[in-house]
Amino acid sequence: MSNTIGKKEIIAMIVGAVEKINANHQMLSQLDSATGDGDHGTTMLRSMKAVSETIESSTDTAVKDMLYNIGWAIMSADGGSTGPLLGSFFMGMSESVSDTGMDCGAVAEMIAAGINKMHKQSRAQIGDKTMMDAMLPAMETLNNADKTGSISEALASAAKAAADGAEATTEMTAKFGRARNLGDRVLGHRDPGAVSISLIFKGFCEGLDS
């Protein structure tokens, strides 16, 4: 595989993420029943529908605008905190993307731009039992990858880091959102937002390889 990607591959990555979330939405709602109000899966499903519709209408759109429109569509899906957070991730990526010729370093920068934008909406850090527990390890893994190396391998490592991060939330109490109100009662359950992020990275990876 070539060591650079462009719009076609980015679409493949995002479609992979959509498929991964769609296949797991019931599990996400079940996780949320333990730590929130049980609707994270349906919220994500609604958001992913907005993503798919935006991709379908983006045939002649520059990838930068497509990512921005995806972010806006997710925010329009009325998902409580999920909308602004996940929407910011895509809007942030739109600020650091090219239609062609992105090497592994550029992909890492794109993901980092998304996470930084998201971080402006949430002060959450590692250990707070939020999406950041999966996001930040994935970003760090990508930042440490060989800038001209295999994008597929770097994304696979990032997906692994995100999954490990999501798994680690099992042992955490929450500092933000409704789960915060449940105190110790959320111990033993993974954070649904972190699991969603790990699924998105896994989907990016599978989408690119498909």
Partner 1 sequence: MAMKKFINDPLNLTSELLEGFQIAYGDKIAVQSEKLIVRVNPKDQNKVAIVTLGGAGHEPALSGFVGEGMLDVSVVGDIFAAPGPPKVLEALRMMNREAGILFVVLNHAGDVMSANMAMEMAEKEGIKLKMILTHEDIAGGPDAAEEDKRGLVGCVPLYKIAGAAAEAGKSLDEVYEIAERFNNNMATLAVAMNSATHPSTGDVLFELPDDEMEIGMGQHGEPGTGPTKILSADDTAKVMATSLLNAIKAEQGDKLLVLMNGAGATTLMELFIVLGGVKKVIDEKGMTIATSRVGEFLTVQEMAGFQMFIAKMDDELLELWKAPCDTPYMTVN
Question: Which CB, 160 or 175, lies closer to partner 1?
Answer: 175
Distance in Å, CB of 87 to partner 1, minimum: 7
What tokens appear for 140 in the block? 């760090």
* Sign for the pseudo-dihedral over CA of 136, 137, 138, 141: positive
Rg (CA), the chain: 16
Distance in Å, CB of 81 to partner 1, minimum: 4
Distance in Å, CB of 96 to partner 1, minimum: 19
Distance in Å, CB of 56 to partner 1, minimum: 19
Question: Which CB, 79 or 165, lies closer to partner 1?
Answer: 79
Distance in Å, CB of 47 to partner 1, minimum: 10
Task: Determine the Cα–Cα distance for residues 168 and 165; give it in Å rounded to an integer.
Answer: 5
Question: Which CB, 88 or 196, lies closer to partner 1?
Answer: 88
Distance in Å, CB of 119 to partner 1, minimum: 12
Binding site for partner 1 (CB under 8 A): 29, 33, 37-39, 42-43, 72, 74-81, 83-85, 87-88, 121-122, 176-178, 180-183
Tell me the sheet residues that pair with 64.
none
Question: Which CB, 4 or 33, lies closer to partner 1?
Answer: 33
Position 123, amino acid: R
Helices (H) and strands (E) counted in the chain, each on its own, are 8, 0
Question: Which CB, 141 or 169, lies closer to partner 1?
Answer: 169
Distances (CA, A) of 28 to 25, 76, 195, 196: 5, 21, 8, 7
Question: Which CB, 98 or 173, lies closer to partner 1?
Answer: 173
Which residues lie below 8 Å from residue 204, measured CB to CB, with a gap of 6+?
13, 14, 16, 17, 155, 158, 159
Which residues lie below 8 Å from residue 50, measured CB to CB, with a gap of 6+?
70, 73, 74, 76, 77
